[in-house]
Chains A and B, each alone.
Chain A
Amino acid sequence: MRDETRFEITVTVNGAARRLRVPARRLLSDCLRHDLGLTGTHVGCEHGVCGCCTVLLDGRPVRSCLTFAVTVDGSKITTVEGLAPGDGRLSPVQRAFAECHGLQCGFCTPGFLCTVTALLADNPAPTEDEVLEGISGNLCRCTGYQNIVKAVHRAAELRAEES
């Protein structure tokens, strides 16, 4: 093996500070799943096409499979495990996906939930076109997207009702 120096990083994941030592080539997706045991972040294509591994990096959705863990030292990361408010309830986006049947096998769902959470934080009442543009980087092979789009609009309603 060539140089496999480990780098010490500190990241705040779902509100908890985590310190760990990672080789430079450790993808953030693998760091979350293997080093931290947060297997809610799914890895589909591992080259940035499918969107399943999307997490929030300092509030913005990014592909965790196209991000090296060593480069996000000092950042805040939210994964699907951190979207629910923590009182046993689901977040508005999660409830809307359940209510509108916005998932079938569930593999793509963590990526969609993170993407849509950020989309609505940025734009609380998106138009149909803005929803389609917003989720265009996430692939779903089951639903045909119709119910996912419905779920995004429903989540916007739930957020508005609860704010």
Chain B
Amino acid sequence: MKPPPFAYHAPRDLGEALRTLAEVRGKVLAGGQSLIPMLNMRLAEPSDLVDINRVAGLDRLERTADGVVVGATVRHADAERARAHPLLTRALKLVAHPVIRNRGTVVGSLAHADPAAELPAVLAVLGGHVRVARWDGGVAVRDVPAAGFFAGPMEPAIEPGELAVSAFFPALRPGTGSAFLEIARRHGDYALAGVCAVVTVDDGRVATARAACIGVGPVPVVVDVGPACTGRPPGEADWAGAAALVREAAEPEDDIHATAAYRGHLVGVLAERALRDAAREGAAARAG
């Protein structure tokens, strides 16, 4: 099908974009890889579309000692090539197909807030934030922590008139390893379930361990599995116990692709594997 008619706005700078959004309260068009299918299938019929692709300054990816700031129009493919953050790079390779990643944006994936998408889990497990801007006589920004940003399925904490302008992914501490594993029916599809893990190894012992799951709840499910595994060498830690904590926290549901029980099983298996992989990488990073 064809998209319904809409009024099109193509602001050139951030102030103009925010004033337009304040006025028309339209949908934001960045990469369009989720929005345009919804328009083509007439699942969405916004009166106005605000195209931010020509807004100066939103296409920057900045790497600092603290982490990586990804601007709103940075494509998945460009973020992947920048190799700016090991976990982000890993996760990006799992997002749809290479051709989709040439157009799709990192911040767009966050703002879409699909509960089965990879990037929200990465932001959540790292404790990053999304910078949101609105027009208030000037550009006014606020940083929304990941824990509060994903309010529900497809429901980011972005108010009408606001624009997500960048996302901050905190850097991994020294001695930290990461992993992202998922199971999908077909390569490139949204996963049935997935787990990303971040484990820090200090003095040969597990210091912190966190996991975030996708596809098993309305938003990414973040679990601190430290109680099951810290204080022991990575090879002797109770990863099965840690995975059990993840399984308990997950709230899988049935749908046409998989039963809740199967998703719950998958998330446990993937959590144990991802935590072990991350711990191994963290120990190697410390040794190196």
A interface residues, Cβ below 8 angstroms from B: 1-5, 7, 23-25, 27, 30, 46-48, 51, 54, 57, 60-63, 65-68, 70-71, 115, 132-134, 136-138
Is B257 interfacial (CB 8 A cutoff)? no
Complex A-B: 16 CB contacts under 8 Å: A3-B7, A5-B7, A24-B8, A27-B2, A27-B3, A27-B36, A27-B40, A66-B36, A66-B100, A67-B32, A68-B32, A68-B51, A71-B51, A133-B98, A134-B98, A137-B100
- Residues in B with CB closer than 8 Å to A7 are 8
Shortest CB distance A56–B (Å): 10
- Residues in A with CB closer than 8 Å to B41 are 47
Q: Which of B1, B40, B53, B99 contacts A51 (CB 8 A)?
A: B99
- Residues in A with CB closer than 8 Å to B259 are none
Question: Given the known A-B contacts A60-B102, A63-B100, A137-B98, are A5 and B188 also in contact in the complex, defined by CB atoms under 8 Å?
Answer: no
Shortest CB distance A80–B (Å): 15
- Residues in B with CB closer than 8 Å to A57 are 102
Shortest CB distance A109–B (Å): 16
Q: Which of A4, A30, A66 contacts B32 (CB 8 A)?
A: A66
Contact count A vs B, C-beta below 8 Å = 95
Measured between alpha carbons, how far is A137 from B76 in the docked complex, in Å?
A: 15
Q: Is the CB of B8 within 8 A of A48?
A: no
Q: Is the CB of B47 within 8 A of A47?
A: no
Is B249 interfacial (CB 8 A cutoff)? no
- Residues in A with CB closer than 8 Å to B245 are none
4 additional contacts (CB under 8 A) given A24-B7, A30-B2, A115-B99: A2-B6, A46-B40, A48-B100, A136-B187
B residues 165-217 near A (Cβ < 8 Å) are: 187-188
Chain B residue at smallest Cβ distance from A49 = B37
Q: Is the CB of A137 within 8 A of B5?
A: no
Measured between alpha carbons, how far is A27 from B5 in the docked complex, in Å?
A: 12
Measured between alpha carbons, how far is A132 from B102 in the docked complex, in Å?
A: 17
Residue in B4, B6, B77 whose Cβ sees the most chain A Cβ within 10 Å: B6
Chain B residue at smallest Cβ distance from A30 = B2
Q: Is the CB of B8 within 8 A of A137?
A: no
Chain B residue at smallest Cβ distance from A60 = B102
- Residues in A with CB closer than 8 Å to B36 are 27, 48, 65-68
Measured between alpha carbons, how far is A66 from B41 in the docked complex, in Å?
A: 12
Residue in B32, B40, B77, B99 whose Cβ sees the most chain A Cβ within 10 Å: B99
Shortest CB distance B265–A (Å): 26
- Residues in B with CB closer than 8 Å to A47 are 37, 40-41
Q: Is the CB of A62 within 8 A of B1?
A: no
Chain B residue at smallest Cβ distance from A23 = B5
Measured between alpha carbons, how far is A5 from B8 in the docked complex, in Å?
A: 9
Chain A residue at smallest Cβ distance from B188 = A136
Measured between alpha carbons, how far is A27 from B2 in the docked complex, in Å?
A: 8
